[in-house]
Structure 1
Amino acid sequence: MAEIHTEPLAPVPDDLTIPQFFLDYNHPLRPVRTNLSSWLIEDATGRQIGYEEIRARTFGLANELRARWNISENDVVCLFSPNDVDWPVILWAVHRLGAVLSPANPGYSAEELAHQITLSEARVLVTHVASLAAAQEAAQSAGIPPERIIVLGPKPSGSSYATVEELIASGLARLPTFVERRLAPGEAKTKRAFLCFSSGTTGKPKAVEVTHYSMISNNIQMRQLVGKAPRYEAGDVALGVLPFFHVFGMVVLLHFHMFMGITVVVVPKFSFENFLSSIQRYRVKHLFVVPPMVVLLCKHPATKKYDLSTVRWMMSGAAPLSAELTAQVNQVMPQCHALQGYGLTETFTTVALSPNDVLPPTPGCAGVLIPGLTARVVKPDGTLAKYGEPGELVVSGPSMALGYYKNPQATKDTFIDGWVRTGDEVVINEKKEVFILDRIKEILKVKGFQVAPAELEGHLLNHADVADCCVVGVPDDYSGELPLAFVALSEAALERVKTTPAEAERIKAALMKHVADAKVEYKRLAGGVEFIDVIPKNPSGKLLRRVLRDRARTMRAKSPAKAKL
């Protein structure tokens, strides 16, 4: 087949920043709020926050950021926090000043956060009080002085750090310190809004450069697709439990629902029973999840204790949801339509989405290609696949990122003349439905998060007992995949194992701890450690990862692991 073209996209303003689009502008496709429904609700307290308060708090914070630290055009602010009702306020305040936001995973270790701060060249670090210890260590390592650390949440006892609340109050009390500018026509397509970190095959996470136009256009693309049937109605409530630092949570859950006039209940951290309780308490209609959450809904005994009957739409993303798991959740919640979406940080974000006019959706389908998109399915020989034939998905559209910040080689490999290589092997049928078959790239998907094998391998090779290693993913019902390390031991370690066989288990435990001490939870070697005489490689020295992945799956089939509940 030739290139696949979707329906033309509605007009997208190219001279607006993200907060100007969401707070100051009315797009023709944007539903008009006919009541005074809240934009956000704080899950723990029930506090409701409306448009006027959000807009005022955004201005106050922007005003104080300019007054105290002269944050301005292209400066970078790193946000290291779990979900919070002030998360969008911080994001939009940074953008009001023409600056760039770099959202960080609140579970990062100090080492991982320092890498992000250093690469993004952040001038200010906003951290939640719960993450303050790691933030302090990372800031010191990356050269951010203590006076440029801002705390989100209550002020720590005896601390001199400014809090977000204090900055907002101070900014609202002073005269304007900045004049917000309107972008020139077309400038939103090149004006950086985010540096979002995405794992790569070559090691540490890379910074994806995302524009204001990317966010705005993707919201319009999704709106145009779901606008064909009344999925969204005034007064609807969505549960904001997915992490906002992740593009699925930030773009689809947070921004798109505010664009659609839906109230978002902001949940700082996922806890299954609290998750169920919030659905019941706030009568949630829209549920956005990742596959591990669906596993819990299907298998955890607590599910039966709560009233989930208000949920009508469940959207799963970040990793494929199998047809079997879809069937299970349909039995548990028969009133609910279980849908899927597909996208990448590099496509910011959605590429495919389940439509409203095909219910129930085709089992195993990741959705249909959204409006304004052009797609190719490329076979290994470089020719274009026909409908129903597998190949790598390559896409082009208005929401594509610019590339990888300060990484021209990686940019050249993924971003080609306006096209993005997804690294995913897919099949697309005549209905433009997308089915994800496998990943061509080496990235693992653990609980919906990307994990680069090379990053873990590099860390393991720093251990004295490791001569060589290779990390692969093994299937897991709950997490999707789990990292497993094949390790060739050093000569000294081999001698110890020969002398004392029990030493093998001690080394495995030490290697797992070596990773756990330095990496966020989902990057840990939950799949285990296996010793191997020699790591297989091709003549040029490239790891034959598929050989070990097949070996790991054979091992797992002989001794299946139980899903963690």
Structure 2
Amino acid sequence: MSEILPARSMPLEIIPDDVTLAQFMLDRSHPYRPTRPAGVPWLIEESTGRAVALEEIRERVFGLANALSFKYGIGENDVVSLFSPNHMDYVVAVWAVHRLGGALTLSNPAFMADELQHQLIETKVKLVIAHSLSLEVAHTAAALSGISSDRVVILDDAEKPGTLTVPSLIREGLSQKANFVERRLAPGEGKTKIAFFCFSSGTTGKPKAVVIQHYAPIANILQLALHFRIHEDYAPWDQRRNRPGDVHLACLPFFHVYGLIFSVHYYIFAAMSLVVVPKFTFKGMLEGIVRYKITHLALVPPQIVLLCKSPETKKYDLSSVRVAGFGAAPVSAELTNQLIAVIPQAVTGQGFGMTELATLTLMFPLEARHGIPGSAGRLMPGCVAKVVKSDGTLAKRGEPGEFVIKSPSVALGYFNNPTATAETFVDGWVRSGDEVIVDEEDNFFIVDRLKELIKVRGFQVAPAELEAHLLAHPSVADACVVGLPDEYSGEVPLAFVVRQPKVASANPEDLRAEIKKYVADTKVYYKHLVGGVEFVDEIPKTPSGKLLRRVLKTRAKEILAERAAAVHTKL
């Protein structure tokens, strides 16, 4: 099989390479950009209904940028950490840093101090903007990273002695003359100037910083715009997929590329309103759909499971939902069909993306009411793909192989990690680490992950990180972590542990609880050993000492079957 081309080509000259993401979103018109109807806000605060339009956002961006310039000296190529759940001023902070020529490290607000510290040190952060709920962790991590406490700023308006807030900085910045001159990029500079450091877990060691330049998210926004034809009157108004004035429930985390690029930047570009949800709860999502007459949902598999199986779903009128797209992890055909039954009026389908591709490269077809159940979609405009077998030859239709992709949205690589970059980014192609099959109509089906990553609710968990942590426990002699299939989370971490001889006679249940707590006390929630701890006599390895993870993956499936049988017996 030759390389697979998209059904619709992407004119690369339409992607501006001389602007930052902030300039593209706030200042530039574009042939693909639809006109936003009068009175349609950019952002809506979920808890209050407060609406914010372009001019207010522009003003707040300038005010914050000005204050960051004269109070903290943030400027060209400086890196700012954004450590917060979704918030109305999240994109204000992003675009303010971009106005100054800086870049952002985006961090999960559920991180523990050592996890945040790794990111602060790795990307040489000079200022931390944190939500008040994460402030204690932010201060601890900053101190461990050599960042003084006065360089930690609160994103929201919570008053904390000795710590400034973004709202107060905006007011101060607006009261002063401009302290900076926004630089215009030279032609082509957008392809190299860094916008974000988004961390992606590798199979060895701690998460790696993916370097995303301004050109990459701009390219992906325009790929999506072209795929969805948002600038064309291609169908009657009631049949168009994405329409100016539609309303999107933005409950995906903004620190993740799926939320950052698709949920935030693309939908704003498409002239839609975003209802900003600080933290996802299922009941809150249902209430938000009804209150704001939500038309568009971007979902991950656990949310789909709740929609399909929770008795709460039937208590709410979901008839306003016109489109429900999903991604971040494969969704089975069975679960897709269940979702269609729950919201039969809605267009539904799956997409596929990677942090390293910033972000989406597959999407279900525009002409289809529903994507093919189980399919991750077809190639987006501008993408080229090949399916490579283990022997390096190209797979035929229906044959499995690694999904290898080329896209104008490809990131620059991994920060300060040439070895990992060379393994994933090869001559303009990105190795996904996912095994796929492509049918005769160019639909892609994700079969398995060739990499060892565990994917929990769309988040990547590196087994090696948890194994290294477990080996530091005094009762653990050896360890191997694998993913245990889970209907709600996709996978959950399961640890196989060899006990030290001195604790071999200890109560196994007490030791299991101790080990699980040991991980939970220092790792973000999705890295917790929800799959459990299984004690074994030895960890299978090759003669060279490499873990035979596949052996324990097989054992994990057996354990899952045994647990299901035990539950059935009790019933």
TM-score of the superposed pair, with normalisation by structure 2: 0.96
Q: Which amino acid aligns with 2:184?
A: R
Is 1:273 the counterpart of 2:274 in the alignment?
A: no
Deviation string, structure 1 residues 287-329 (Cα, Å, up to 9, x no partner): 0110000000011111111111100100111001111001111
Deviation string, structure 1 residues 85-110 (Cα, Å, up to 9, x no partner): 10000000001111001110000011
Local SS of the residue matching 2:174: helix
Local SS of the residue matching 2:356: coil
Partner of 2:87: 84
Q: Aligned partners of 2:471 and 2:424: how far apart in 1?
A: 27
Partner of 1:544: 548
Shift of 1:539: 1.6
Q: Aligned partners of 1:430 and 1:540: how far apart in 2?
A: 42
* Structural mapping, 1:39-438, within 5 Å: 39-157=42-160, 159-227=161-229, 230-438=240-448
Q: Aligned partners of 1:409 and 1:548: how far apart in 2?
A: 28
Is 1:8 the counterpart of 2:6 in the alignment?
A: no
Q: Aligned partners of 1:484 and 1:273: how far apart in 2?
A: 29
Deviation string, structure 1 residues 484-509 (Cα, Å, up to 9, x no partner): 00001112122x33xxxxx1111111
CA-based RMSD: 1.1
Partner of 2:493: 483
- Asked whether the equivalents of residues 155 and 161 of structure 1 are also in contact (C-alpha less than 8 Å), the reply is no
Local SS of the residue matching 1:5: coil
Shift of 1:154: 2.3
Shift of 1:156: 2.9
Q: Which amino acid aligns with 1:29?
A: Y
Q: Which amino acid aligns with 2:528?
A: R
* Unmatched runs of 5 consecutive residues or more in structure 1: 498-502
Q: Aligned partners of 2:251 and 2:244: how far apart in 1?
A: 21
Q: Aligned partners of 1:54 and 1:322: how far apart in 2?
A: 40
Q: Aligned partners of 2:303 and 2:31: how far apart in 1?
A: 35
Q: Aligned partners of 1:406 and 1:324: how far apart in 2?
A: 42
Is 1:512 the counterpart of 2:492 in the alignment?
A: no
Q: Which amino acid aligns with 2:531?
A: G
Shift of 1:428: 1.6
Local SS of the residue matching 2:207: strand
Local SS of the residue matching 1:346: helix
Q: Aligned partners of 1:235 and 1:71: how far apart in 2?
A: 36
Q: Aligned partners of 2:357 and 2:459: how far apart in 1?
A: 16
How many corresponding residue pairs? Answer: 555
Deviation string, structure 1 residues 195-240 (Cα, Å, up to 9, x no partner): 1011110021110000000000000001111116521123210000
Local SS of the residue matching 1:209: strand
Shift of 1:360: 2.3
Shift of 1:430: 3.0
Shift of 1:3: 1.3
Deviates more, 1:39-48 or 1:327-336: 327-336
Q: Which amino acid aligns with 2:306?
A: L
- Asked whether the equivalents of residues 398 and 439 of structure 2 are also in contact (C-alpha less than 8 Å), the reply is yes
Q: Which amino acid aligns with 1:9?
A: M
Deviates more, 1:219-228 or 1:97-106: 219-228
Q: Aligned partners of 2:287 and 2:119: how far apart in 1?
A: 35
Partner of 2:35: 32
Deviation string, structure 1 residues 423-457 (Cα, Å, up to 9, x no partner): 00011223221110100000011011111101100
Deviation string, structure 1 residues 42-63 (Cα, Å, up to 9, x no partner): 0001000000001111111111
Q: Aligned partners of 2:57 and 2:214: how far apart in 1?
A: 19
Q: Aligned partners of 1:22 and 1:241: how far apart in 2?
A: 21
Identity %: 53
Q: Aligned partners of 1:419 and 1:113: how far apart in 2?
A: 30
Shift of 1:339: 1.2
Q: Which amino acid aligns with 1:492?
A: K
Q: Aligned partners of 2:546 and 2:422: how far apart in 1?
A: 20
Local SS of the residue matching 1:79: strand
Partner of 1:500: none
Deviates more, 1:223-232 or 1:272-281: 223-232
Q: Which amino acid aligns with 2:136?
A: A
Q: Which amino acid aligns with 2:135?
A: L
- Asked whether the equivalents of residues 107 and 521 of structure 1 are also in contact (C-alpha less than 8 Å), the reply is yes
Local SS of the residue matching 1:61: helix
Q: Aligned partners of 1:65 and 1:28: how far apart in 2?
A: 33
TM-score of the superposed pair, with normalisation by structure 1: 0.97
Shift of 1:81: 0.2
* Unmatched runs of 5 consecutive residues or more in structure 2: none
